[in-house]
Amino acid sequence: MLLILRPIGIYRHVPCSFVPKLSILMCSGSPKHKSTKAAFMEKPTQVLENDRLQVTAITSAIPFSVEKDVCSKIKKDRSKVEESEQTPITIDYSKLHKDYLKLSKIKLTSLVVATTMAGYALAPGALDIYTLAMCSVGTGLVSATANTINQFFEVPFDAQMSRTKNRVLVRGRLTPVHAVGFAAISGILGLSILYHEVNGITAALGAANVVLYTLIYTPMKRISIGNTWIGSIVGAIPPLMGWTGCTGDALTLGAWILPGILYAWQFPHFNALSWNLRPDYSRAGYRMMAVTNPDLCRRTTVRYTAVLMALCYLAPVVDVTHTWFALASTPLNAYFLYLAWKFNEHSDSANSRKLFRFSLLHLPLLMVLLLSSKKCWTSTTEKQGDKVVSSHNVPPAAAAEKSNPLSIFTSIASATSTVQ
């Protein structure tokens, strides 16, 4: 510093164009300032281009030149972030069908349809392929509507999360008009199919689920941790829709076994998932248990896993399954409960990941056990209008005629014509 300031004081009347050379020469004489010379020589004009009279700024400009480079790098990085977030909308019509499938969250919708079909198959009614297909298609379209509206509302928040920043609306692969149009068409078609081809109760449940998911659960995610309980109700309604699609009745105790299992299963599943996504949820401003109340997150995980196990023991009591289902499901549920307890004791990323991965395996295995142990496979019933006639009173000749494929397609065609 002294070596530089003294020449500056001596040569203060010298033109400024000579001063950098002199200061550099003085610095180069000392090996201690060798790196300083290199740092200053990179951008010698940036310090003096604004004010030629502030020659003493040369000494302070040597360390500050590095900071200026750092600031320029931060500005460049900032521009990259803004450029990536403000992606222009470019629609590739050759991939439009794939973008619509992503907009509907096809994997989640497929799970919803699977639970609906399981609820239909578990019900103690006749297996009508046409009604099952219409119930599944209508429920899938309604689920696509709810998922689309959810993404439409959460575009600015999805852009802040690593898990959701590549969704089609965030990346600009679809316009908001496309999303609203797709949601409207799929919603109208889905509810119409459920109402006209299945029954009014199932259509009402589907409409209620859309309202519950889009107008209550979606905004509540940024207000209260109660969104987890509302979201669990949303996930429990599809199997109830399957049951009502088969029987037209939602008031029996057996109708609520599978919805109750789905409701309880979502707590260990989602709590384990959200535990490792806490930075993302916190950055986006979502009020999740894992972020705002970790202790409650751990406790509810264990509690609802135990409730799930109790519901499996209740299924034979209400004549939904045989007794051996309670025995066969015990090892599966016991290990699930053990992982939940382990997550409660040591809430690290490894235990939460194990719990989440096993939850993905637990649900399909439990549903297979549930359906394979169904108690009322033989007591099938046939619905004719508003009447329900037991198949035990049907003569063998008539039963054989009804099992004929030609007669089945004829009855489907006649039922369709009466609806129209």
User: What tens digit of pLDDT does each residue of 204-244 get?
Assistant: 999 999 999 999 999 999 999 999 999 999 999 999 999 99
Q: Residue 94: its pLDDT value, please?
A: 72
Q: CB–CB of 133/416 below 8 Å?
A: no
Q: For the residues 271-286, what does the mean pLDDT come to?
A: 90
Confidence label for 342 from pLDDT (cuts 50, 70 and 90): very high
pLDDT (tens digit per residue) in 118-152: 999 999 988 899 999 999 999 999 999 999 999 99
Buried/exposed 180-189: b ≥16 CB within 10 Å, e otherwise: eebbeebbeb
Task: Mention the CATH class of domain 93-248.
Answer: mainly alpha
- In total, the chain counts a number of residues equal to 420
Residue 19 near residue 55, CB atoms below 8 Å: yes
Cα 263 off chain centre by: 16
How much is the pLDDT for 379?
41
**Does the pLDDT at position 109 exceed 70?**
yes
CB 304 within 8 A of CB 268: yes
> At a CB cut-off of 8 Å and minimum separation 6, what does 225 contact?
287, 288, 289, 292, 293, 296
In 3D space, the residue among 143, 81, 64 whose CA is nearest the CA of residue 108 turns out to be 143
Confidence of residue 88 (pLDDT cuts 50, 70, 90): low
Location of structure tokens 């006749």: 126
Q: Which two tokens stand for residue 200?
A: 């009014």
Q: Whole-number mean pLDDT of the chain? A: 77
Residue 49 has pLDDT above 50, yes or no: no
pLDDT digits (tens, 9 = 90+) for 177-213: 999 999 999 999 999 999 999 999 999 999 999 999 9
The predicted pLDDT at position 212 comes to: 96
| Dihedral (CA of 362, 363, 368, 374) sign | positive
Considering the chain, what percentage of its residues have pLDDT values greater than 90?
56
Instruction: Give the residues across from 390 on adjacent strands.
Output: 381
Token duo for residue 320: 């939904």
For residue 339, name the pLDDT band (cuts at 50, 70, 90): very high
Identify the residue with better confidence: 84 or 349: 349
- Structural domain boundaries of the chain? 93-248, 252-376
| Lowest-confidence pick of 152-156, 176-180, 402-406 | 402-406
